[in-house]
């Protein structure tokens, strides 16, 4: 028996060419766990409407943040993988849910090295149907079809693990050191409200109101909204933030359905209009800086804030390949290597 690790992130287009962006968005948005409507409606919505205009707009946005080495999300994930691999004696591979660095190639890379037991690490602190679940489902399909010899375990969401909260809090404290800010906004990627109801294993707890996510429930194991609020609460506790000086919002809405609220762009605008002059923003749903943090927040968000009179707008970088973040992953992997995943992340 030989163990190995597969780190998994979302993925990016191959380049900023609108053709590559279109190909990537087609795979991403045709995933039934992302646009979760019947197949005919998804084809109509994605291929009939969204892909007519979005690729050009997204390609322009990607061009603003693209690095010489490629997509920031991919480059950063590769740096993290290399850092982890240096500290660990078993193979560590990297794959993306969408795009060219497929899950199949990642599993094959491990299988070729003689690996028989794989720990899949979805690089998402909070569980969502559109992220963690779609990775696990796809890995399961690939295992059944191509890798029957592999025994696969997946790392659960780590949104409330003390070691993760500690590193996230430290990263915020370091990047805001010496700066005073009127408000710290925790902006998470949004999801349609319907996704929260679909993931509710109790079939009724999640009302998406002011109470449900703060009332203990089994549903929270798979409730993205609860997990986001919990990450905020624990970091706020750890940094001893005063009530009223921080809040949670949700960004990157797509389409016409109601998504989790409050929306980040409107929140930034409202804060600027209500007299907040120094605003800091952290994006804990993203482990690696990407289009949604570097463009939507650091560029567009800042522009909105300045337009309504805001002065200082500070974006906290994602955990990326921080040594202390790599260290947590190494520790979980090491514990899994000698015990099992439940004990490792208990």
Ligand X SMILES: C=CC1=C(C)c2cc3[nH]c(cc4nc(cc5[nH]c(cc1n2)c(C)c5CCC(=O)O)C(CCC(=O)O)=C4C)c(C)c3C=C
Identify the residue among 78, 133, 265, 292 touching ligand X (CB under 6 A).
292
Closer to ligand X by Cβ: residue 88 or 228:
228
Tokens of 311: 């002065």
- Interface with ligand X (CB under 6 A), residue from 254, 266, 273, 307: 254
Tell me: does residue 29 bind Fe ion (CB under 5 A). no
In the chain, what's the furthest Cα-to-Cα distance? 61
Is 248 among the residues that bind ligand X (CB under 6 A)?
A: no
Q: Is 130 in the site for ligand X (CB under 6 A)?
A: yes
302 in contact with ligand X (CB under 6 A): no
Q: CA-to-CA distance for 106 and 83, rounded, in angstroms?
A: 17
From the list Fe ion, ligand X, none, which binds 54 (C-beta under 5 to 8 Å, kind-based)? ligand X
Strand partners, 312: 278
Binding flag, residue 115, Fe ion (CB under 5 A): no
Calpha distance 332→346 (Å, rounded): 10
Alpha-carbon dihedral sign for residues 115, 152, 127, 105: positive
- Is residue 133 part of an annotated ligand binding site? no
Q: Contacting ligand X (CB under 6 A), which of 71, 81, 232, 264?
A: 71
Please give the Cα distance from 232 to 186 (Å, whole number).
7
Instruction: Out of 66, 124, 147, 164, name the contact with ligand X by CB under 6 A.
Output: 124
Number of Cα atoms under 13 Å in the Cβ half of residue 59 = 17
E runs forming strands in 72-171: 92-96, 117-122, 151-154
Which residue stretch of 144-152, 170-178, 286-294, 316-324 sits at the interface with ligand X (rule: CB under 6 A)? 286-294
Query: Is 168 among the residues that bind ligand X (CB under 6 A)?
Result: no
Contacting residues for 16 by C-beta, under 8 A, at least 6 apart: 59, 62, 63, 66
Q: Work out which of 115, 285, 333, 344 binds ligand X, going by CB under 6 A.
A: 285
- Residue 206's binding partner among ligand X, Fe ion, none (Cβ under 5 to 8 angstroms by kind) is Fe ion
Residue 304 contact, options ligand X, Fe ion, none, Cβ 5-8 Å cut-off depending on partner type = none
Q: Name the 3-class secondary structure at 276.
A: coil
Q: How far is the CB of 89 from ligand X (least distance, A)?
A: 30
Q: Is 292 annotated in some ligand binding site?
A: yes
**Binding-residue total with ligand X (CB under 6 A):** 22
Cα 15 to chain centroid, rounded: 21
Closest C-alpha to 322, from 185, 176, 178, 170? 170
User: In 3-state terms, what secondary structure has residue 141?
Assistant: helix
Q: Where in 41-70 is the site for ligand X (CB under 6 A)?
A: 54, 58
Q: Are strands 246-251 and 183-189 parallel, antiparallel or unpaired?
A: parallel
Residues forming beta bridges with residue 281, ordered by sequence position: 185, 315
Selected range binding ligand X among 107-115, 133-141, 205-213, 284-292, rule: CB under 6 A: 284-292
Query: Hey, which residues between 132 and 161 contact ligand X (CB under 6 A)?
Result: none
Sole window of 75-83, 101-109, 157-165, 206-214 interacting with Fe ion (rule: CB under 5 A): 206-214
- Give CA–CA dist 7/177, Å, rounded: 31
Listed ranges 68-76, 203-211, 301-309, 327-335: which one lies at the site for Fe ion (CB under 5 A): 203-211
Binding partner of 49, given Fe ion, ligand X, none, CB within 5-8 angstroms per partner class? none
Tokens describing residue 270: 């409202």
3-state secondary structure of 94: strand
DSSP class of residue 247 equals: E
Select from Fe ion, ligand X, none the partner in contact with residue 286, using the beta carbon and a kind-dependent cut-off of 5 to 8 Å: ligand X
Q: How far is it, in rounded angstroms, from Cα 303 to Cα 190?
A: 20
- Any contact of residue 291 with ligand X (CB under 6 A)? yes
Binding site for ligand X (CB under 6 A): 10, 12, 25, 34, 54, 58, 71, 73, 124, 128, 130-131, 189, 191-192, 252, 254, 285-286, 290-292
Q: Residues at the annotated binding site for Fe(2+)?
A: 189, 292
Q: Residues at the annotated binding site?
A: 189, 292
């Amino acid at each position: 028996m030989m163990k190995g690790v597969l780190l998994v992130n979302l993925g990016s287009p191959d380049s900023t060419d609108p053709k590559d962006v279109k190909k990537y968005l087609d795979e991403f948005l045709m995933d039934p766990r992302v646009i979760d409507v019947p197949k005919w409606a998804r084809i109509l919505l994605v291929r009939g409407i969204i892909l007519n205009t979005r690729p050009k707009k997204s390609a322009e946005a990607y061009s603003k943040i693209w690095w010489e080495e490629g997509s920031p999300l991919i480059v950063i994930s590769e740096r993290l993988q290399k850092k982890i691999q240096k500290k660990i004696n078993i193979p560590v591979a990297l794959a993306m849910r969408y795009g060219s660095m497929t899950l199949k190639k990642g599993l094959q890379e491990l299988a070729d090295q003689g690996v028989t037991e794989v720990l899949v690490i979805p690089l998402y602190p909070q569980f969502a149907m559109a992220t963690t679940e779609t990775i696990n489902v796809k890995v399961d399909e690939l295992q059944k079809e191509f890798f029957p010899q592999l025994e696969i375990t997946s790392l659960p969401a780590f949104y409330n693990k003390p070691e993760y909260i500690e590193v996230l809090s430290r990263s915020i404290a370091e990047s805001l050191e010496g700066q005073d800010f009127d408000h710290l906004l925790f902006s998470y990627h949004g999801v349609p409200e319907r996704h929260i109801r679909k993931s509710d294993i109790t079939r009724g707890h999640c009302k998406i109101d002011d109470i449900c996510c703060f009332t203990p429930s089994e549903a929270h194991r798979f409730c993205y909204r609860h997990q986001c609020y919990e990450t905020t609460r624990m970091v706020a506790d750890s940094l001893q933030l005063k009530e009223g000086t921080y809040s949670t919002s949700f960004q990157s809405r797509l389409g016409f359905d109601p998504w989790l609220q409050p929306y980040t762009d409107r929140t930034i605008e409202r804060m600027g209009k209500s007299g907040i002059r120094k605003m800091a923003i952290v994006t804990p749903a993203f482990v690696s800086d990407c289009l949604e943090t570097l463009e939507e927040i650091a560029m567009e968000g800042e522009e909105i804030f300045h337009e309504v009179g805001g002065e200082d707008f500070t974006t906290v970088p994602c955990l990326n390949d921080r040594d202390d973040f790599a260290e947590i992953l190494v520790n979980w992997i090491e514990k899994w290597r000698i015990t099992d995943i439940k004990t490792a992340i208990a």
